Amino acid sequence: MHSRRTVLTTAAATAAAACATGAAPAGAAAAPRPPVPGPAGSTEAAEARLRRIISRMTPEEKVGQLFVMRVYGHSATDPDPADAAANQQEIGVANAAELIGKYHVGGIIYFGWAHNTREPHQIADLSNGIQKAAAAQRVPVPLLISTDQEHGIVARIGAPATLFPGAMALGAAGSRDDARTAARIAGEELYAMGIRQDYAPDADVNVNAANPVIGVRSFGADPQAVARLVTAQVKGYQDAGVAACAKHFPGHGDTDTDSHVGLPYIHHTQEQWERLDAPPFQAAIAAGIDSIMTAHIVVPAFDASEDPATLSRPIMTGILRERLGYTGVVVTDSLGMEGVRVKYGDARAPVLALKAGVDQLLNPPDLSVAHGAVLKALQEGELSWPDIDAKLLRILLLKERRGLFADPYTTHEEVDRVVGIQRHLRSADRIADRTTTLLRNAGGMLPLSRLRENKVLVTGVDAASPTGTGGPPTTVLAHAFGELGFAATALSTGLAPTQTLIDQAVAALRERDAAVVTTYNVTADSPQRQLVDALLATGKPVVQLAVRNPYDIAQLDGVKAALASYSWTDVELRAAARVIAGRQKPSGRLPVPVMRADAPDTALYPIGHGLRY
């Protein structure tokens, strides 16, 4: 535990004001990072201090501390006019400072679409402004600032921050050291920008190839392998001073419904859950994870009422708290998702989540409705103040462990010292080099360094990259091949290529020596199949690269050379280009099975498959 005082002094508040502009106080060097505490736990002195803070709070302040909310804008006090208008419309305030003053929220979540994450210095200034507003409250409590920085296809903060391969790519590498290193570096950079919680790692075991919401966000389909990498990432993030958050409990890996738009059902028996879904969460708890996120899914084997797990006391308390012995913070997945709204509505969901055993309420669609509903439930005795105080203590202990009461601020100097530095970027490239998986190489078509000529067409899907993560993929690949000595041309044909675009790609290939075609979640009736078939019909070498789920090859029988990168982000595409070109040997192995399209119960390529040159 930290020995520094809990409440900011006047001098500290003055320093906070300086930090809010990105500068250290006059005459002072940038403050060193507080020592990183160990896993979840507390001392009697810390608990007593935090209980005194809780005892000073009004009912409205206590309830506010339970919420983690979005807010539009790049600044805590001076957002762009459009962002201020969006805040007024959705929250009834103009900016983050007003949000804190009105609702006393305990946390804020950053999104790219909310314009919170333009670039690292701005993010640091926003974080400092938020903490300055918190310090000015009647009962000053630092905010827990969080984001979804899973890496791979889910990244709220882009370049120049360091971007790593996502979970399934790390699963293909299979290295606990790589997983821990990626999380540690990612955590250090988040910490430097004032973000002390990352909603990562994903602890779901992706055993359903049709899963529309998890997929490559999971480390794989082997529960024990997933558990090992979850453990590594928990330790990496928390070694860096950032709270990790395993998600989505009790396990979102076997569903064909997206909980953002519907209510998924998981039909595992209790025995199947213990074997398939539980191991990564058990491993995260054993590693001392700070927080766990719920899933808006129905698991009839655990709750006959068929309430979403987020609202289910048998799941949140009976299984997570009592059976697994978890004592840390439980946070809901976003309360704006349809999976949690469909059965009870926006006023009841937060109340039922708290009754179920949840501590933090994430991103309700209407904060005034949710905040008012929780207050009303307390006034009417449906919720109890001792239970709310226990939740608050868990939340404040997490903030204490992550150094927020000691010093919640950062500086531009800290950002420049840590974020996107060359050493981190080189680590990301080295890790990515171990992830690309060679699935098929009939006739030894790869590497392309065997070509007598070097003119390459890069065509196919240009998936929408996460904010600031680069792209478009065909352009990134073509540039990467250019740096490797090839004469490469990019031609995007999109997710559903028209016949005109297919004809253009075929004509372009006739003037070149080989094609690299990117594919994205190919189905039996996907026009992407027509593109690949047309390219193959030219007789030129065609290399297929799956840039999301690795299952595409099952729909592409004629392809002789196929690889999986597990994402379309720049770091993974550059690594794939090095493998295709022969500058790096492929070493990734499938962390999920690829089943046959004509016999879905039969593996085309099993877990662990991966060819070498």
* Residue that has been written with the tokens 């662990």 in this structure: 608
Q: Are 96 and 128 in contact (CB under 8 A)?
A: no
Task: Check if 115 is active-site.
Answer: no
For residues 436 and 168, give the distance between their C-alpha atoms in angstroms, rounded to a whole number: 10
Edge-to-edge strand ranges of the sheet holding 197-198:
197-198, 144-147, 107-110, 67-69, 361-362
Largest pairwise CA distance in the chain: 79
For residues 287 and 562, give the distance between their C-alpha atoms in angstroms, rounded to a whole number: 37
Give start and end residues of each alpha helix (H) in 344-497. 348-356, 367-379, 385-401, 412-418, 422-433, 473-483
The catalytically annotated residue of 2, 121, 260, 479 is 260
- 3-class DSSP state of 227: helix
Q: Kindly state the DSSP code that residue 261 receives in the 8-state scheme.
A: T
The catalytically annotated residue of 148, 178, 222, 333 is 333
Edge-to-edge strand ranges of the sheet holding 291-294:
245-249, 291-294, 329-331
β-pairing verdict for 107-110 and 67-69: parallel
Taking each helix axis from N to C end, the angle separating 385-401 and 348-356, rounded to the nearest 10 degrees, works out to: 80
Q: Are 151 and 566 in contact (CB under 8 A)?
A: no
Q: Are 565 and 435 in contact (CB under 8 A)?
A: yes
For 73, residues 6+ apart whose C-beta sits below 8 A from its C-beta are: 79, 80, 83, 84, 87, 95, 96, 114, 115, 116, 126
Its sign, for the CA torsion 130, 135, 139, 144, is positive
Taking each helix axis from N to C end, the angle separating 348-356 and 367-379, rounded to the nearest 10 degrees, works out to: 60
Instruction: Report residue 391 as tokens.
Output: 């939740």
DSSP string, 381-395: TSS-HHHHHHHHHHH
Query: What phi and psi values does residue 125 have, to the nearest 5 degrees?
Result: -65, -40
For residues 364 and 499, give the distance between their C-alpha atoms in angstroms, rounded to a whole number: 44
Q: Are 287 and 323 in contact (CB under 8 A)?
A: no
Task: Check if 177 is active-site.
Answer: no
Q: Catalytic positions, please?
A: 260, 333
